[in-house]
Chains A and B, each alone.
Chain A
């Protein structure tokens, strides 16, 4: 298997989120051979977990579906899920990459019928719901999963649950003897699109994310608003299931803070403005959203979206970084701080607090190729090699905090750079 995918004209794309999928498709549709590796069991990354996109308020299902169709239709892309990059060695045009393949315990016979999930008793925290809900230990990541195959969580391997799943399967799709594998592939160029992760909100001590049930993050709020999410799209607070009508959004939760993330995460202002739409949709004129901010930073043409939200009487803006949050007996949250416009001291009660958490690059915490140059936040800035000698390119949110639109632009640019590398090596075999 290793031999058949090894070629110096191959482009390796690391990360199967919106950036990785875009980079892989752009290169593949130009006729290049592409290997797209993804650590999780499905493509789609964090984009697939959003409820809606800004500014058009359309659903990610739509854009994802188009991309998945393109992938299915293109024989130049080879998708490897549950695969991590262990090591990248070599030079531009001639890389040897070591990949670790984790066992899914389900093979391609799977029809996603769901019988195994019904048979299994054990439950795990669902990582695709940011742990807000449980799921069966035999699970389909989400409705847009690609490949559309179930996964058996390694925690039940060797238990009777695993045998129950196997006997429930009518298609002989469950293979409990799958083992972890390490394979080596050759690639001429690498696109590094490992994306981002939400900043660990528990580290912002005064906001009490780890202590108060009703303090949640913006990515969790996306799940609450989603009809396929843990609450069926109702905005219910985690502590008591009560409808959250009076919601506070705290901007710069972790971002623009030397104690946490020193960069501006750029998307959080738009994300919170977008989320005020969810609140209005849920409750109409009964909705109340309050945005606590340092500055509203909506980029260029998105300013119009901000102006529209500003006109909504259900949304108020308070220019202040909240100093601390205190929980009252009913589980409501009292926000303390000083309003910069007039220096008024406030202590305001809300049903639910949504922390607009910053984007931390996923490059923090994974092993990277040695010649990758990172900025002070950990985003990929470029290469440590002299210009023209590099063959690994960052793409999407791995390079800078980007929204979906800009991530796709960045990925397309990275694909073009990678294509230029393999073009060169295809004429001069083994050069550089």
Chain B
């Protein structure tokens, strides 16, 4: 268990609803849910994930901390906003789902190897280095995230597209060394550090 997670458990004990209310972005809305189920019924990915927003909110109220934080459902949200539009109590459901995903990630209890979580992590690590997304390195990192042989398979299956992109000058092979960056990389990194510092103040330290 991560240090942050231990602290959160020590601080809130069984009161997971309070923890979500205070620590998760837009988490204060969760207690407004009246369990009508319109979000679950409206979600286009609904049949494909285990915990609908309705279920997640009920689980939070029931104090099912581990089940909620390790659920992969929040990571499946595509931000289509159908739930927000239809929620009769105007809960910002999409934002709450992302808030929960972020919180689980921060406590390092989010499901390991969950594809959308991995994708987000790779994207972020790629972006913060130069302030620009290096598409070549990003694609390679995604292909090889499940090991070397799977990476080679992925590469081979995508090679026609890659060559097409190169021909159309949409993909520069020279990006593999360094790559393009924004004018003030140091400035971007300072900005991100500051943002993290502000975020940490809101969170358990």
| A residues in contact (CB < 8 Å) with B | 206, 252, 256-260, 294, 319-324, 336-340, 343, 345
Contacts and interface: CB of A to CB of B under 8 A. Distances in A.
Given A338-B52, A345-B46, A206 B86 contact: yes
B158 interface: no
Contacts of B41: 320-324, 336-338, 345
B37, B42, B47 pick with most chain A CB within 10 angstroms = B37
B80 interface: no
Contacts, number: 63
18 contacts: A256-B34, A257-B88, A258-B90, A259-B90, A260-B88, A321-B37, A321-B88, A323-B40, A323-B41, A324-B42, A337-B38, A337-B40, A338-B52, A338-B54, A340-B35, A343-B37, A345-B41, A345-B46
Contacts of B47: 345
B95 interface: no
B86 A252 contact: no
Nearest to A335: B41
A340 B37 contact: yes
B89 interface: yes
Contacts of B55: 343
A319, A336, A338, A345 pick with most chain B CB within 10 angstroms = A338
Contacts of B38: 321-323, 337
Contacts of B36: 252, 294, 320-321, 340
A259 B88 contact: yes
Interface in B42-80: 42, 46-47, 52, 54-55
Contacts of B46: 338, 345
Contacts of A320: 36-37, 41
How would you classify the secondary structure of chain A's contact residues: helix, strand, loop or mixed?
A: loop
Contacts of A340: 35-37, 54
Contacts of A294: 34-36
B86 A323 contact: yes
B67 to A, nearest CB: 14
Contacts of A345: 40-41, 46-47
A17 B93 CA distance: 42
Given A321-B36, A322-B41, A252 B54 contact: no
A78 B34 CA distance: 49
A206, A323, A336 pick with most chain B CB within 10 angstroms = A323
A271 to B, nearest CB: 19
Given A338-B52, A340-B36, A340-B37, A323 B42 contact: yes
A152 to B, nearest CB: 44
A73 B23 CA distance: 69
A254 to B, nearest CB: 10
Contacts of A337: 37-38, 40-41
Nearest to B52: A338
A256 B36 CA distance: 11
Nearest to A206: B86
B125 to A, nearest CB: 36
B88 A343 contact: no
Contact of B37 (A256, A257, A324, A339): A339
Contact of B40 (A258, A259, A319, A338): A338
Nearest to A251: B36
Contacts of B42: 206, 323-324
A343 B39 CA distance: 12
Given A338-B46, A338-B52, A343-B52, A258 B88 contact: yes
Interface in B83-125: 85-90
Interface string B5-47: 0000000000000000000000000000011111011100011
Contacts of B52: 338, 343
A338 B56 CA distance: 14
A96 to B, nearest CB: 43
B88 A256 contact: yes
Nearest to A321: B36
Contacts of A336: 41
A323 to B, nearest CB: 3
B41, B47, B52 pick with most chain A CB within 10 angstroms = B41
A326 to B, nearest CB: 12
Interface string B118-146: 00000000000000000000000000000
Contacts of A343: 37, 40, 52, 54-55
Contacts of A256: 34, 88
A178 B149 CA distance: 92
A257 B55 CA distance: 20
A263 to B, nearest CB: 12
Contacts of A339: 37
Contacts of A252: 36, 88
A321 B40 CA distance: 10
A345 B41 CA distance: 7
Contacts of A260: 88
A343 B54 CA distance: 9
A322 B39 CA distance: 10
A319 B89 CA distance: 17
B62 to A, nearest CB: 13
A256 B35 CA distance: 13
Given A321-B88, A323-B37, 5 more contacts: A259-B86, A259-B88, A294-B34, A338-B54, A343-B55
A122 B35 CA distance: 51
